[in-house]
Amino acid sequence: SQTIHQWPATLVQPVGSPLSLECTVEGTSNPNLYWYRQAAGRGLQLLFYSVGIGQISSEVPQNLSASRPQDRQFILSSKKLLLSDSGFYLCAWGGGGSPLHFGNGTRLTVT
Amino acid sequence: QKEVEQNSGPLSVPEGAIASLNCTYSDRGSQSFFWYRQYSGKSPELIMSIYSNGDKEDGRFTAQLNKASQYVSLLIRDSQPSDSATYLCAVDTGANSKLTFGKGITLSVRP
C-alpha cells in the first residue's frame, strides 16, 4: 500500500531563516505530488505541484520554491522566511481524477 | 477562475441527527468530486469519492452529485460527537491534475 511521509511535524523558525520541508512517498511510482498551505482558519492553498522528476508548476508567486530530485521525493524550500509563511504545510500525492492523499503535515511558525 | 463554494458554517446538530453539507462548483467540466474530513490540527482524510450523478453510500455517509445543477452534497446519518470536524469539498476538473478545495464547513455534533 501507498504511504506518504512528511517531516518535521512542527517547526519554529525566525524571520529571515531558510526552510526545507521534505516529503517522500512509498508504494507507487511516478506519482503526482503537491504542496499545499493552510493558514489559520483558512482553506487549502495549492503552492506547487509536480507530475515528474524536475517538473514543477508554481501556483502562487512568493518566496517559496519546490524541487523534485527523485521520483518519490518532493522538497519545499525558502531562502528567507517571512512572518506570512506561517501555516500548516501539507504534502499530497494522487490527483489526475483520483483523490489526493495527504501526509501528516508540518506546522510552521515563523517568529 | 474555477471556484468551489461551501455553505457558511459552523453547523451544529444534535447527536443522532442527519447532518447535511453542501457544495457548489463553477466548472461544468468537472469530473471527480471528493469529501474530506479534517480534525483540528490534523491533515485532511478522504471519506468519500463520487464520479457520476446520483447517490453513493458508505456506512453512515452518503454523497450526492448533480452535475446539471453543479452541486455535490454529503449527508451524515446518525451523527456522532466524533463526527465533529471540518469537512472539505474538493473538485477535480481533469485539467492539470489539480484539485480545487472549498474553504470547508465546521460541523459540531452536540451530545
pLDDT tens for residues A34-45? 999 998 777 899
What is the spatial distance between Cα B96 and Cα A5, in angstroms, rounded to a whole number? 24
Query: Which pLDDT score is estimated for B96?
Result: 65
Dist CA A36 CA A67 (whole Å): 14
Under DSSP, is residue B57 helix (H, G, I), strand (E, B) or coil? strand
Of A43, A46, A104, the CB nearest to B103: A43
Q: Are strands B105-110 and B11-14 parallel, antiparallel or unpaired?
A: parallel
Beta strands at B99-101 and A10-13: parallel, antiparallel or unpaired: unpaired
pLDDT for the residue A97? 84
d(CA B74, CA A94): 22
Q: How does the average pLDDT of chain B come out, rounded?
A: 93
Between the alpha carbon of residue B98 and those of residues A51, A91, A96, B56, B104, the distances in Å are 11, 13, 7, 23, 18
Q: Which residue, among A102, A107, A108, would best test binding to B if mutated, counting the most B CBs under 10 Å from its CB? A: A102
Looking at the DSSP bridge assignments, the partners of residue B75 are B20, B62
Facing B99 at nearest CB: one of A90, A100, A104: A100
Q: Could you tell me if A44 lies within 8 Å of chain B, comparing CB atoms?
A: yes
Subunit contact B31:A49, Cβ cutoff 8 A: no
Per-residue pLDDT tens over the stretch A47-83: 999 999 999 998 886 789 999 999 999 999 999 999 9
Within 8 A by CB and 6+ apart from A3, the residues are A25, A26, A27
What pLDDT score does B1 carry?
A: 65
B109 pLDDT above the threshold of 70: yes
Which of B6, B97, B100 has the most A C-beta neighbours within 10 Å, making it the best mutation to test the interface with A?
B97
Q: What is the DSSP code (8-state) at residue A63? A: S
Report the candidate in A32, A36, A35, A37 with the shortest Cα–Cα distance to residue A53: A32
The answer, for A99 touching chain B at a CB cutoff of 8 Å, is: yes
What residues of B are in contact with residue A105 (Cβ under 8 Å)?
42-43
Checking if the pLDDT of B95 tops 70, the result is no
Query: Is residue A58 less than 8 Å (CB to CB) from chain B?
Result: no
- pLDDT tens digits for range B47-64: 999 999 999 999 999 999
Q: How far is CA A71 from CA A22, A53, A87, A104, B38, in A?
A: 13, 5, 26, 20, 28
